Structure 1
């Protein structure tokens, strides 16, 4: 393979961005095909992309074309697992947009299909290319911070107005998107939370407010508490209804504390690990000597989406290790599913997640979703020939 031929299914916001990147910005890659059922989006592709790009209006024609080696899936959330499975079954490599899906039951089936296919599988976790989080992961995984004791992420700078939600009837509905701030704004943070620490919670207790600040069905304000196998604890706070918001990620360990905020990584490093100090110190009041270290990190947020596209291309051409393997998409989704289920049942949720119970509770909400009712009414009108 001299070049990786990419086909994109779903040419909306993110799909069109990826299409432009693949039209010359990614070394060793070329955009060869686009699929979308919306004629207006296909017209956009025709007007804005190279003439050599083939256009398809059905997935079936897209799969059958053999016009690409890799399929980039940028469809609505619910469709991600099903589209990925179809792509694997048709012999394609797959790169899927985040989130991996809406519920882990479907994502697990996608992962199983990927394993059987023998094809490369990646997910668009572009924040893994951010040098701040890469350095944090290195400091934790190398043992520099010592054993993790506490994680806290306040991510409340996702402000969204009511007019944003009013821009599409599918927005912020259980039937249309499958969730709110956890599924739409926070997938990157939920992924980075477990990726940087290397830890998944063992149980979750979450308090989700549904339509607290906005006239929507889904969660717009969340405070969650988690516990880890090693005894560490964590808190995750997020909302779309605060301005100004905060983005502060703090991790405490035996050797001090690391904070990412305002584009900086600061390590308050203890000269002597806290457990050792506690064991040896006899002076009553006192605490370990602490050094404030501004950790040097290359400027900017990294190559982001283009970085994932280049990494995936390099994996196929040169065997480069994937920065964001698709199978790992289930981790962050498991956490958000657990938060939803905890709020719905008003109780603790243990991991591994009860996927059947989550699916059952989600289906109840989909049946009562405004978007679902509108779609059902439209379908009835269409059958009667009055629409």
Structure 2
């Protein structure tokens, strides 16, 4: 395929960015052919921005049937991702979805099955996987230089959000519209990176999710979770949209050293020998393993959306391996579902989560919702540089 004809469905914050990216020719081997949106203001913006060069659709069926696209980039609200992806696969389209893969694993697993059966290229916008900083961390861990995993901690409080962010639309920060708060929207990248860099999925989770602690919302804006792994390693995740100034600190400890990532700086404290070996052999009482502090020069690049789109297009055209396969979107969602369920039930939850139980409890949240947003502005936010 010489040129991939792409359609974008959903012209909100991220969809608008993708329209701009494709219209400017930033993606080699791809052209924006059509968009689909029910928002008249956004439709008029697309017409003006693209100078009438793309087809405009308001109906999803017409978009998939009559747009003459090869691939679709889905940038709609969270709940619709799996259903739209399944429709696209049924029509023989390649798919790239914005994160999250969905809100609950039940229909995301169905989406993954549909992707597998149709054989089309399926990606998800986990753009931080293209960040050289996290690629280097993944290499250090999975190459064995850090040794066996012992502990991780991730403090994710640098995604501060004022009330006006949540007031920008009716669907934001509601169980019915978004399906969650800081975990599902801001911290999902880190949940993906946690399992992607370490190569480990948690065994169990015990968590507390504080609803509307710092904002007038019905979902969580502050989370603390304790995670355990099969080998006995532990993790603590702290996420919030109500702290300023915030912190983004990822610490990973293995039996051969420690990695610290903060302020876009990567430090590797490399032990001269395994701590477990030293512990068993040393007879001096108060000794400790020698180590070398290594500052690893790596440039952090946060806004890598174009890299993920280009990689997806290359996979369609040339069979290039995906940096972020869509089927892997269920992993971070599995962790977030476990955190929510643990908080709701006030107990430790084993992974994988029972998909039917989670769906049932989520419906209870939706059906008992009594939040009435009084100051919705219906604005499209500038998302450049955010994650």
The verdict on a shared fold, with TM-score over 0.5 as the criterion, is: yes
1:197 and 2:182 matched: no
Aligned counterparts, 1:151-166, within 5 A = 151-166=152-167
TM-score by length of 1: 0.94
TM-score by length of 2: 0.94
Q: Is the 8 A contact 2:4 2:29 kept in 1?
A: yes
State how far apart, in whole Å, the 2-side matches of 1:370 and 1:305 are.
36
Following superposition, the deviation at residue 306 of structure 1 comes to 0.3
Q: Is the 8 A contact 1:99 1:183 kept in 2?
A: yes
State how far apart, in whole Å, the 1-side matches of 2:178 and 2:242 are.
19
Please name the residue that 2:289 is paired with: 288
Q: Is the 8 A contact 2:218 2:371 kept in 1?
A: no
Q: Mean alpha-carbon deviation: is it higher for 46-55 or for 14-23?
A: 46-55
Following superposition, the deviation at residue 111 of structure 1 comes to 0.5
Q: Mean alpha-carbon deviation: is it higher for 161-170 or for 303-312?
A: 161-170
1:65 and 2:80 matched: no
Following superposition, the deviation at residue 170 of structure 1 comes to 2.2
Please name the residue that 1:178 is paired with: 179
Aligned residue-pair number: 373
State how far apart, in whole Å, the 2-side matches of 1:352 and 1:15 are.
32
Structure 1 gaps, min length 5: 375-387
Please give the per-residue CA displacement for 1:49-103, whole angstroms capped at 9, x wherever unaligned: 1532111111011011142111100000000000000000111010000000111
State how far apart, in whole Å, the 1-side matches of 2:228 and 2:4 are.
43
Following superposition, the deviation at residue 332 of structure 1 comes to 0.2
Please name the residue that 1:96 is paired with: 97
SS in 2 for 1:114: helix
Please give the per-residue CA displacement for 1:345-369, whole angstroms capped at 9, x wherever unaligned: 0001001111111100100111122
SS in 1 for 2:169: coil
State how far apart, in whole Å, the 1-side matches of 2:264 and 2:331 are.
25
Q: Which has the higher helix share?
A: 1
State how far apart, in whole Å, the 1-side matches of 2:313 and 2:166 are.
35
SS in 2 for 1:194: helix
Q: Is the 8 A contact 1:206 1:223 kept in 2?
A: yes
Following superposition, the deviation at residue 6 of structure 1 comes to 0.7
State how far apart, in whole Å, the 2-side matches of 1:11 and 1:51 are.
16
State how far apart, in whole Å, the 2-side matches of 1:164 and 1:316 are.
35
1:354 and 2:354 matched: yes
State how far apart, in whole Å, the 1-side matches of 2:201 and 2:339 are.
13
Q: Is the 8 A contact 1:308 1:323 kept in 2?
A: yes
State how far apart, in whole Å, the 1-side matches of 2:120 and 2:161 are.
38
Aligned counterparts, 1:142-291, within 5 A = 142-291=143-292
1:140 and 2:141 matched: yes
SS in 1 for 2:203: strand
State how far apart, in whole Å, the 2-side matches of 1:81 and 1:122 are.
12
State how far apart, in whole Å, the 2-side matches of 1:302 and 1:38 are.
29
SS in 2 for 1:8: strand
